[in-house]
Structure 1
Amino acid sequence: MLKSVWTDTEIWALAVAETIVWAGIYYIFAALISQWERDLEWSKSELAIGFTCCLVVSGLIAPVIGSLIDKGFGRKVLVGGAVFGGVLLFLMVFMNSLWQFYTLWTLLGVAAACCFYEPCFAYITHTRPANAKAAITLVTLVAGFAGTFAFPAANILTEWFGWRVAVGFFSAMILFVAVPLFYYSTRSAKKTKTLLTSNERRQQSLERKSALREAITGRYFWIVTISFGLIMINHNGLLTHFLPMMDERGISLELAVFAAAMIGPMQVIGRLTMVLTEQWLSALVTCCLAFSCLIIASICLIYSMDSPRLIFGFVVFQGIGIGVFSIMRPVIIAELFGVRGFGAISGVSASVGQMSMAIAPTLAAAIWLLGGYDMVLLFMLTFAVVATLMFSSVALLQRRRA
């Protein structure tokens, strides 16, 4: 499958750009939350609100961004979002108060909505419909190392120079590496863009709206979308609290950072395994197996108090599960609801996913206040189980229809 895009330099550039923006905008929060808590003397709950604001804004505008990509503005969206994100991270270097922290993270939500996976995948689906799955797989194989890059880099720079230098480093990486790569990787968009008459544009707009209406009023859309949202609560809740959770359990910072960094390589292993088995397993079955991995991961983390070695069981299964899921999400949406109006349909689904990611850090912090991280883990396991049951019901119904 990957042979069709292996020599496509634009996809490789897009993959590296995605790696950098995910490291600098998403993983940076989990990598530095403990440092911010110590240096700025803000609580986990206060810090989590900032990241929640980022993801809420990202979720709210995701359908709008999807529609813009449907209309052919993919290049401007991806490049502009990366520029905006890099500038905001640079301003974070000078942050001293909580209101500044909240403002910057809220605005970073706009950048995330423009340059994270969803807009990238929508752009790929529109510009390379024949090789979309292969291109998406290659992007996620490379970008799976975003956490592997972010956690060690942020912690080493923080230990040597302080967290402000670490944030400035990621800002520079986005502005001077990711932005040029996004610009290069989307150059073919201009070549493929055609001039349409007003009637053709109106017809395309009506078709997109019709496709979106059919999808969201269908029998499967909300079951699938909610199951995706529950998975994102599980993953984001565990990831953003992983370092504080390990600290509470007496695990050294070095070991905790190493474990968190290894989730990325496990994502890549999961995606490679998916590529090797795709001829035998359907997309729906593969997604069910990915969800099951997340259940096992939560169980490993629950019992890691008695056996710390199970932390690496969590890393393996969480990485494989979320790695495969991130590829299968756009594939499932295209398979169940079609590619017509894909950007808008994917945007609505992504908005629920982003909202779920948004509430996860704050929800986990609130549960922690009530019953500590043991209760947090039980809730996260429950979310994974419910999501698996919901999605499996759709897969079973689809199989019967086939």
Structure 2
Amino acid sequence: MTTTTTTTPILPRTVLCMGVSLLVSWGVSYYLIGVFGDRMAEDLGWSLPLVHGGFTAALLAMGAVSGAAGRLIDRHGGRGVMMAGAVLTAAGCCGLALSHGLVAYYASWICLGVAMRLTLYDAAFATLAGLGGPSAKAAMAQVTLFGGLSSTVFWPFGDALADRLGWRGALFVYAGLSLATVLLHFAVPAGRARPPAGAVAHAPPLAGTPRDRALAGGLYALAFALAHFLSSAMSAHVIGLLTGLGIAASAAVWIGMFRGIGQVAGRLGQVVLGGRVHPIDLNLAAASLLPLSFALALAGGNAVLAATAFVFLYGAGHGVLAITQGTLPLVLFDHRTYGAVVGRLLVPSFVVSAAAPLVFAVVIERFGETVAIALSLLLAGLALASALLLALHFRRLRT
């Protein structure tokens, strides 16, 4: 016989403080290389691949500690874990600022990789799941709005800092900002929620049998590994793909901005819709936008309107998938083991994210941009197939 579980409501100030901390944490860690990579290479006298290899090492470190980070949050709650991550982010930024050799440079990036796993969406989602259970879906969507603005805020801010202080001085400022987020994390309740009388009751998870859990876990891991691979590849190569299709370089940069606009638009739509769309249906809708966007890129050639639609739709799909990555496990699995389950299932995502820019660089160099986009269409189609199978299998359980 199945039973319901209860959880406490998530306060608005918790969402606000966590959202601001995510905006800062994404900006001073994940988006760091995009602002300072060229300056680092010039100052250190290293090649760009060597400099960007540090970020690859960070992504691999995220994967290596993912399961342990999730288990920690399940056991002790997210406040202390995210605070520790903020301190490690500051240490990694200071380490990079003081680096003059490869060992120190790569060690600093590995420190940042561990820190990112403790401070970014995956840690925040696990923390919210421990506090609110399935009712945390709205809070998860809301905090992603802040994270989605991070590159918009920190790319120009970091560039301006580096112009004034140099990239090393800018990184010390980043370290200070990361330490400041420790104060924001005090808004997160300590430990795990203990539901009082009158707390909200929730239905049991959809994947209630070992077979269903294995199927749900496999499809979830596959879909988001493919989505992360595409996201990492697009982050590194979208401008090059557009120019390879015949779009002028100046127009390609302008069009590339529509990825962020689409991302925020998709997330705003989810916040407005609230709980009216089931996470499985929302995930299917978001996944369907990815192959549609790449098909438009292939069909549109060098047409600016088609290229703009491609980037916007891709951004919207990716933006909503960032939400369903957090909300799907709330309805599929037991929220009390959310951190451990999701931490294990996301390990492939971190690994393929690290490899994606290099893989796409090789494909573009050997076969051209059109083949790279066709490959993206194929991978996006596989992600959509995974989302569709998930929706079809669990539809009968939902009814």
Aligned to 2:118: 114
What is the identity, as a one-letter code, of the residue corresponding to 1:24? V
User: Residue 197 of structure 1 corresponds to which residue in structure 2?
Assistant: none
Gaps of at least 5 residues in structure 2 are: 1-8, 196-206
Distance 2:37 2:284 in 1: 32
For the 8 Å contact 2:294–2:376, the answer to whether it is kept is yes
1:134-149 matches, within 5 Å, as 134-149=138-153
Q: Which amino acid aligns with 1:289?
A: A
Corresponding position of 1:347: 343
Pairing partner for 2:316 from 316, 320, 334? 320
1:220 paired to 2:197: no
Structure 1 unaligned blocks of 5 or more: 195-210
Aligned to 1:180: 183
1:251 maps to which residue? 249
Aligned mate of 1:21, from 16, 19, 25 = 25
Query: Following the alignment from structure 2 to structure 1, what is the Cα–Cα distance between the partners of residues 168 and 147?
Result: 24
2:105: which partner in 1?
Answer: 101
* CA displacement, residues 128-171 of structure 1 (integer Å, 9 cap, x when unaligned): 23641121121112221112112222334445554334433333
Is 2:26 aligned against 1:30? no
CA separation of 1:314 and 1:139: change in aligned 2, threshold 3 A: same
The CA deviation at 1:372 is: 4.6
Scaled by the length of structure 1, what TM-score is found? 0.82
Moved more, 380-389 or 75-84: 380-389
More displaced stretch, 66-75 vs 276-285:
276-285
Deviations 1:85-117 (A, max 9, x none): 122112212333444332221221110111111
What is the Cα deviation at residue 327 of structure 1? 1.1
Partners in 2 of 1:212 and 1:174 — Cα distance?
40
CA contact (8 A) 2:18 2:143 kept: yes
Q: Alignment partner for residue 91 of structure 2, among 87, 104, 113? A: 87
User: Which residue in 1 is equivalent to 2:374?
Assistant: 378
1:207 corresponds to which residue? none
Root-mean-square deviation (Å): 3.1
SS of match in other structure, 1:274: helix
Further displaced range: 321-330 or 43-52: 43-52
Which piece of structure 1 moves more, 160-169 or 130-139? 160-169
After the TM superposition, which of the residue ranges 339-348 and 217-226 deviates more from structure 2?
A: 217-226
Q: Distance in 1 between matches of 2:131 and 2:275?
A: 25
Q: What is the alpha-carbon distance in structure 2 between the residues aligned to residue 190 and residue 299 of structure 1?
A: 47
| Compared CA separation, residues 218 and 362, structure 1 to 2 (3 A) | same
Alignment correspondent of 2:3: none
2:255 and 2:352 map into 1 onto residues whose CA distance is 24
| Residue 338 in structure 1 maps to residue 334 in structure 2 | yes
**Paired residue secondary structure (1:225):** helix
Asked if the contact 2:287/2:317 (under 8 Å) is kept, the reply is yes
Return the offset for 1:31.
3.7
Secondary structure class of the residue paired with 2:221: helix
Match of 1:198 in 2: none
Runs ≥4 in structure 1, deviation > 6 angstroms?
Answer: 246-249
Aligned residues: 377
Partner AA of 1:185 in structure 2: A
Would you say 1:126 and 2:130 are equivalent positions? yes
1:217-251 Cα deviation digits (max 9, x unpaired):
62231122111100100011111334566687652
Deviation at 1:74, TM superposition (A): 1.9
Percent identity (aligned): 24
Q: Distance in 1 between matches of 2:219 and 2:312?
A: 27
Letter aligned with residue 189 of structure 1: A
TM normalised by structure 2 equals 0.83
CA distance in 2, matches of 1:46, 1:384: 29
Could you say what secondary structure the match of 1:71 adopts? helix
CA deviation digits over 1:183-205, x for unaligned, max 9? x222x2259579xxxxxxxxxxx
Counterpart amino acid of 2:141? T
Shift of 1:46: 3.0
Deviation at 1:277, TM superposition (A): 3.6
Distance of 1:13 and 1:262 partners within structure 2: 27
Matched, 1:307 2:303: yes
Amino acid corresponding to residue 236 of structure 2 in structure 1: T
User: SS where residue 99 of structure 2 aligns?
Assistant: coil
Q: 1:216 to 1:351 in 2, by over 3 A?
A: farther
SS at match of 1:96: coil
CA distance 1:347–1:377, change in 2 (3 Å): same
Contact 2:142 2:271 in 1 (8 A): no
- What are the Cα deviations for residues 1-23 of structure 1, in whole angstroms up to 9, with x where unaligned? xxx76x62122011000111111
